[in-house]
Structure 1
Amino acid sequence: MTEADMGADRRPQAADFVITGTVVTADAERRVYTDGAVAVRDSRIVAVGGRADVEAIYEGGRRLGGPRDLVIPGLIDTHNHMAQALVRSMALEDLPNITRVYIPAEDVLGDDGIRTSARVAMANLLRAGVTTTTDTTCTAEHEEAVGETARETGIRCALAVGQRDRTSRLASNYEQIDGRSEYSDDPAVRDDNIAHLEDFLTRWSARGQGLVRPYIHAASVPSVSDEMFMAARELAERHDTVVMTHINRDREEIELCVSLFGRRPIEHLSHIGALGPRFLAIHAMLTTAREIRLLAEAGAKLTHAPVVCTDIVSAVTDVVGMRAAGVTVGLGCDTVINDILAVMRIAFFMQAQSAGIPMYDPVGFTTEDAFDMATIEGAKALMWDTEIGSLEVGKAADIAVIDGENPRLSPRHNPVGSIVRYAAGTDVRNVLVDGRLVVDDGRVLTLDEGLLLKEADEVAGRVREDLLHRRYWPLNQRYRIIG
């Protein structure tokens, strides 16, 4: 249970934090201590167990939690875009919002705007108990802004960088009477991308100090060449990292891949040998049973962003089928709702409905499944699970304390079920990342939130002026905004 169990010295030892409450470990045995405690010293968890046992060994430091509070592993966001936090509400209920709003916004924001956007996103995430996030918007121009902001705020970040070296075009239905879709690869861009990735992976492995880890973003099959996918796989193996790819996201992507290669996107990557244990599929909403089998056989992982299933009106990812096949699945906010507690709840209801209702099966997808995806499975998806994702001795002290002193979380017959169904980001009282207190009494300690909100309003106003005309649907349908 504790490091003290390994020795004979039972004298009280000093701890930086002793955190008490109902402790949900997410360890291999999925232990939950209803009267539990976690002790933290330096950046590590040094004890987890029953409160009386832990307090008999560790004393001093600051005490957090309380008898009604919930102590959980820091939550893990396996997919996000830091550059989109200031424009997400402008992209609501419009299609295609990614190409019409999100991507153009990056050019409008500039470096300072990207930093402000990243600060807003990271503050939002930390307040909601998220201790690890991911950025897959990051370009060579923006990696400094996002990486440094992660270090500034104290959040862990899987920082993924990559360039597109393929341009492709989906021919319309009538064009295909006597024409077809087409693509073109640019070897010079690919060579530049590989050289930059080599430097980026080496540089941030040292510079990130364990909190910011470098990853590879191979955006999609329509925008990345086969040669780049294979180079990315080799780089990932050599630098001990992961390749992240948006895949099987919408019908246009699938139609384009079939028209160009005679294969669906996941089938194509399997065909060229790009899938493997270091491949993290993003979305995979429109995925067949045979593609699920290909992912599972390769040991690939999935990040599920449930809110985007609705936002782009695509499909509900077959998470139940993926997990049954052996695919590890994490949860992603995808900037739309930067609160994994909310995303967990959405994922639970979405998957429970799609898996449970047809077969009248209340345990087709459970709250425990959703909680695993937000904690230990998310850590495994990022290949960071030796450090984070569960409360265990020796792991990094990434911990969230949920305020249980409220009617919404009472009574609590099932702690995990209560967290997933009823907890909100505003219930998070304290957050530790790597043993450092970054949220106290619901406030982010590493940022001036008042100043940040002022900066965000200024940048968002400028972006709105430049981008609002790009929407096809009015931003407000029936409600009139006055003032």
Structure 2
Amino acid sequence: MTAQADALRDALHGRTELLLRPGQVLLPEGPKRGMAVVVREGRFAEVDALEIVSRRNPGLVPVDLPDHLLMPGFVDAHTHLTQSLGKSLVFGEPSEIFRRIWVPLEGSLDERMVYLSAKLSALECLRGGFTTAVDAGTRSDGHIGALVQAARETGLRSVVGYICNDLGGTAVVADRAAILKNAASHLAAYETDGLVHPALAISIPEVASDGMLADVSLLAAEASAIFQTHVNEHLVAVERSLVANGRRPLEHLAHVGALGPHVLIAHSTLVTPHELNLLRDSGTAVAYNPVASLWKGNAAAPALQMAALGIRFGLGTDGTRADGFRLADAAESLQRACFGLAIGDSSCGGGWLWLDRATRGAADVAGLGTTTGAIQEGLAADFLLVDLDRPEFTPSHDLTWELVRYGNRDQIDAVFTAGRLRLWQGWPVDWDAKALLAEVRDVAAAAIAKAPIQRVHAVSHEHQALGFYR
């Protein structure tokens, strides 16, 4: 790190009030020059023309950032914070890896392992520019507090789901009354928390009774929280629902009254025209997870059609890789490959759509549209400082689209949440990430060996030895 970088880090770290003068600010309508931003008490206090802001704040020493873009932090609309210990174990696996890998692994984690896994995930999120992550809920038994502690210590804004399955899919399945009581307690515990936002979840519709689906959705709505579930992701799950209910999973949720503006459906890759209408008419939101579709899905969500219909959606990683820029690139690329090429759509969202749905749109579906997701007065100061003095942005003709196609996490110098500098050039400024990595390396192998995981695909060097490809 150079002396100049050290000085910049020191100017940003540990202050409750900042006057920032970046080269450009990414506003909802696009990047703009000649702007200044005041951060005060964890929020954007002023976002206006440089001259106006400087005149209003003569007592503040400005931090000049002529080569940087100040942009909203990415919001991961769907992830799993307690799956980081098994990341690459799912490579090459057929669909429904949750049954053979994630449920056994998460269910075997003790409190310390939940903490380590969640903290590692949260660190990866922040390194990738995600200032907020929507966690779908841990399947471990009673250790959600460890997950919350880990996320809070890193500074990651988190929407934390409490799983309410009453028919399976978790380490321990409680009775209906206990589940609803615990769900209400979870909602109350973080109702006024500044960094942790409670949510309720059911892993997939078939692991909950119809009554539980309806009750949990209503409970979340009454608490102004979101209700999350994985729906229409895999062919086999759609077929099981048709056999059991005579309806596809999304149709079944509508049938039991579990859809609505507070509901966040993960995936929705296998949706009929009728189901798209159900999403639109109910106001239900979708987490579009393009990397998950590429790595282990049966299909890609028709995100462009959703956008045209006015269906709310945000981008999510599904715990695949935590890089906000690469996520936006994957979102565009998958739509182009799956839909655009066949119909001659060379724009496929015009670049801006994917950046918007990775920030403001994702905040909206997470229930945080009035909290974060944009550089806007009154919102939480969750933002990134991106170094534009890079070959990828030289020369620059369309910065928004360039961020989608050329951006990557090593261009992010600073990550802020709630007005505090959390990471500088990829590493935390106030806790020892290297010690975390060392502990995870020490314990991960034993944790994986202990879990009753069933894999189908060999690791890559063993697969290579089989000689399928030459």
User: Normalising by the residue count of structure 2, what TM-score does the alignment of the two structures yield?
Assistant: 0.90
CA distance in 2 between counterparts of 1:296 and 1:312 reads 27
Shift of 1:67: 2.0
* Paired amino acid for 2:148: G
3-state DSSP of counterpart to 1:205: coil
Match of 2:431 in 1: 447
Q: Residue 128 of structure 1: CA displacement?
A: 1.9
Runs of 5+ consecutive residues of structure 1 not aligned to the other structure: 1-13, 169-185
- The question of whether the paired residues in 1 share the 8 Å contact of 2:100 and 2:453 is answered with no
CA pair 427-65 structure 1, distance change in 2 beyond 3 A:
farther
Deviations 1:235-260 (A, max 9, x none): 11221111001000101111011001
Indicate yes or no: 2:274 matched with 1:290. Answer: yes
| Mapping 1:166-177, distance limit 5 Å | 166=167
2:148 counterpart residue number: 147
Distance 2:426 2:168 in 1: 45
Query: Structure 2: which amino acid aligns with 1:248?
Result: N
Greater Cα shift, 296-305 or 321-330: 321-330
SS across alignment from 1:79: strand
In structure 2, the residue matched to 1:85 is 84
- 1:414: Cα distance to partner? 1.0
Question: Is 1:204 matched up with 2:190?
Answer: yes
8 Å Cα contact 2:410/2:425 also seen in 1: no
- State how many pairs are aligned: 444
Q: Which amino acid aligns with 2:276?
A: I
Q: Using the alignment, how far apart are the partners of 2:168 and 2:38 within structure 1?
A: 53
Partners of 1:247 and 1:102 in 2: CA distance: 17
Evaluate the alpha carbon distance shift between residue 150 and residue 65 of structure 1 in structure 2; reply closer, same or farther with a 3 A threshold.
farther
Rounded Cα–Cα distance in structure 2 between residues aligned with 1:273 and 1:431: 40
Whether 1:21 aligns to 2:5 is no
**For residues 10-409 of structure 1, what are the structure 2 equivalents within 5 Å?**
15-26=17-28, 30-58=29-57, 66-95=65-94, 96-139=96-139, 141-166=142-167, 189-206=175-192, 209-409=193-393
Alpha-carbon spacing, 1:414–1:50, altered in 2? closer, same or farther (3 Å): farther
Distance in 1, Cα, partners of 2:59 & 2:106: 47
Q: Specify whether residues 112 and 61 from structure 1 end up closer, same or farther in structure 2 by C-alpha distance, changes over 3 A only.
A: farther
Aligned mates of 2:404, 2:66 — CA distance in 1: 20
Deviations 1:30-76 (A, max 9, x none): 14213332221121112223333333333566755622211111110
Does structure 2 retain, via aligned residues, the 8 Å contact 1:20–1:51? no
Question: CA shift at 1:15, angstroms?
Answer: 4.0
Structure-2 change in CA distance of 1:61 and 1:135 (3 Å):
farther
Paired amino acid for 1:200 = H
Which residue of structure 2 lines up, in the alignment, with residue 171 of structure 1?
Answer: none
Distance in 1 between the 2:457 and 2:336 partners? 32
| C-alpha distance after superposition, 1:379-436 (max 9, x if no partner) | 1101211111111111111111111121122222111111111111121111111111
Q: What letter corresponds to residue 21 of structure 1 in structure 2?
A: G
1:311 Cα deviation after fit? 2.3
After alignment, is 42-51 or 467-476 more displaced?
467-476
Query: RMSD over aligned Cα, in angstroms?
Result: 2.0
Counterparts of 1:166 and 1:465 in 2: how far apart (Å)?
A: 27
1:307-340 per-position Cα deviation (integer Å, ceiling 9, x unaligned)? 1112224101111111211111111111110122
Which residue identity is paired with 1:164?
N
**Does structure 2 retain, via aligned residues, the 8 Å contact 1:307–1:346?**
yes
1:145 positional shift: 0.8
The runs of 5 or more residues in structure 2 that have no matched partner are 1-15, 466-470
Q: 1:25 is matched by which residue type in structure 2?
A: L
- Residue identity opposite 2:159 in structure 1: A
Residue 193 (structure 1) shift: 0.9
Q: 1:365 to 1:116 in 2, by over 3 A?
A: same
